[in-house]
Structure 1
Amino acid sequence: MALTLADMVGFLLPEMSVRLVGDPEMLIERLAPLEHAKAGELSFLSHPKYAPKLATSEAGCVIVSPAAQAAAQLRGACLVVDDPYYCFARLTQFWKRSHQLLAPAVIHHLACIDPLAQIATGVSVAAFVCIGPGARIASGARIAEHCVIGANASVGVDSRLSARVTLADGCSIGERCIIHPGVVIGADGFGFAQHQGHWEKIEQLGAVRIGNDVEIGANSCIDRGALQDTVIEDGVKLDNLVQIGHNVHVGKHTAMAGCAGVAGSARIGAHCTIGGGAVVLGHLTLADNVHVSAASVVTRSIFKPGMYTGFFPIDDNAAWEKNAVTLKQLHKLRDRLRLVEKSSLHSTENKVKKS
């Protein structure tokens, strides 16, 4: 089903200023990358380095900034906005909403729902879902196949749980959240006390509290707290295979890429980004607006906003081994340098005294 440019502008106008150059009745059949877009397709230009592709693009319409409007007009229709990438993101949501065929909200007869669970109107529960006693599912929520909602857990308004999500006892998900397949929320944190050569389990008595508008990628795990709750604040975005340890607190609108890991009791500020494969050690604090590069290991608290990187650059193996050996000798080289500096200082002082 094609949409007109007028449809799209009408969707965008309540929240942003949009100037349409071209025919408002132009039909858009697809959203596409700038270099591959054809007539009848909509694309966007968000970074000046891709400007050369604009002139050769066959896109029916391109979303551009005011700075690129003149160049965009030379080739055809355009939507002029202050932030083209944000505009494109919003239009992808509008496109999906316009084309998605949602099945009516029904409770499948093969779902297992405890009589003490509270299911609001307009909730969809698929086959083989298990919902425990005291659980609360708010209106508009959709629970896909094989999900498990534990006792006294709660799911907020319009949140969507994909297949095989586990929300353990006492844990909560806010409103409009998107939880992808295989996510586990509320497994026990990794807590053990060593005693006489064996490990004694520390029961994890806290829960997990997830705010509104959170998205959690496939097969990610968020552990329940030991005594206090693990907290994921509003607007947080987690990629696939992210591990959040017990008692971690993640601030609003922070994003973590795939395979990132945060160890227990760390506190991550708001508007942070954690690159793929990066690790934050336990009991550390990251201030608001801290950005950690991919594959970095954060070994100390960071109290100043900025970009931080901590990994050894890749090299051919022979060179890497030589550099690794050199790194091991750095402390000895440091001590030798200090002796040389100390000797040089004494020599200079003696010369001054003699003069």
Structure 2
Amino acid sequence: MKDTRTHLTLTEIAERLGARLEGDGDRRVTGLATLKDAGPDQVSFLANRAYLKDLPATRAAAVILVADHAEACPVTALVLDNPYLGYAELSRMLDPLADAHRPGVHPTAVVADDAVLGHDVSIGPHVVVESGVVLGDRVVIGANSVIGADSQLGNDCFLHANVTLYHGVLVGERAILHSGSVIGGDGFGFAHDGAGWHKIAQLGGARLGNDVEVGSCSSIDRGALGDTVIGNDVKIDSQVQIAHNVQIGDHSALAGCVGIAGSTRVGRHCMLGGGVGLSGHLTICDGVQVTGMSLVTNSILEPGVYSSGTGAMENSQWRRNAVRFKQLDSIARRLGRLEKRGEGEV
């Protein structure tokens, strides 16, 4: 079997990371692993002091770490101020998928005659590219993906297999869309006449900025009238639902199973933990972090960390607490009466 691994010397890695090399720079490596699991052809990293205990026994070829830990490193050290960032960059260097797609259109793909394809585009098996589509340079479209009419993708976008873009979707440069993601589907819009539901046509679009990543099986709905807008460098995990006309500011991150109802605006540099739900028509200002499984029903206008819900506990204790939750209103009323009575006695 052909060896498809990337082979880099530690000197090459140090130069590309901007790291200070302490040790043998001629050794070649092919992968990354944890301090515990790394072998002699792999690089590891130390970004969390909790794993410092694993450093003395590591068998890695080299370790990315800060200067304070270099002296204790038993193997070659790659010294950086931010080891985790170095790990992230090295992971891309060693990614076997990075150069796996050759430019060209697979014979089974269906590409409209008026579609515009940039240089070195790769279109996989059974892909459909509809009329009016514009693809930038070095775009990769994975097998069975569909690019709807009049959609546009910027340079260096990477769509894994089975991605669907509806019509009129605009995607910036260097976006990564994972399998099963759907961009520009209809928002949940219906009018009720007292007896049944009547669909509202979703006439807006969906726009994604540069460097956006969307996880597998996530949905970003198109706007009802205006566009749903995802800013630059927004990172969206798997199984996330973003409803029509939502706006998400630059550099924000959404963990798995986040749900955002229609017309809510999320600011820049926000982080929403797994399972967070945002009600519709809210404003979340810049710099807000919402911890996992929280439900947000009112706008947040001051940056900070916000939480709701209760942590897991033994069931019998939770049942007792749940009974007390229901009594909070009556307790508050009784306390208010007692306070008024006390003020009257003073």
Q: The TM-score by the shorter chain falls in which range? A: over 0.9
Distance 1:30 1:108, change over 3 A: closer
- Taking the TM superposition and a 5 Å limit, the aligned residue runs for 1:1-355 are 1-13=6-18, 18-72=19-73, 75-96=74-95, 100-348=98-346
Report which stretch shifted further, 332-341 or 157-166.
Answer: 157-166
Which stretches in structure 2 are left out of the alignment for 5+ residues? 1-5
CA distance in 2, matches of 1:41, 1:109: 39
1:26-58 Cα shifts (integer Å, max 9, x gaps):
222321101222333211110222212112222
Which stretches in structure 1 are left out of the alignment for 5+ residues? 349-355
Aligned-partner residue type, residue 343 of structure 2: L
Q: Tell me the CA shift for residue 318 of structure 1.
A: 2.4
Helix, strand or coil for the counterpart of 1:71?
Answer: coil
1:255-291 Cα shifts (integer Å, max 9, x gaps):
1111111111111111111111111111111111211
Is the 1:210–1:234 Cα contact (8 Å) retained in structure 2? yes
Provide the alpha-carbon RMSD of the alignment. 1.5
CA distance in 1, matches of 2:162, 2:42: 36
Distance 1:184 1:304, change over 3 A: same
Q: Tell me the CA shift for residue 244 of structure 1.
A: 0.4
Q: Tell me the CA shift for residue 147 of structure 1.
A: 1.1
Aligned-partner residue type, residue 7 of structure 2: A
Runs of 4+ with >6 A deviation: none
Relative to the length of structure 2, the TM-score reads: 0.95
Relative to the length of structure 1, the TM-score reads: 0.92
CA distance in 1, matches of 2:307, 2:284: 14
CA distance in 1, matches of 2:40, 2:122: 39
Higher-Rg member (1/2):
1
* Fraction of identical pairs, as percent: 41
1:353 is aligned to: none
Distance 1:40 1:142, change over 3 A: closer
Q: Tell me the CA shift for residue 247 of structure 1.
A: 0.5
Q: Tell me the CA shift for residue 101 of structure 1.
A: 4.3
1:147-183 Cα shifts (integer Å, max 9, x gaps):
1111111111110111111111111111111101111
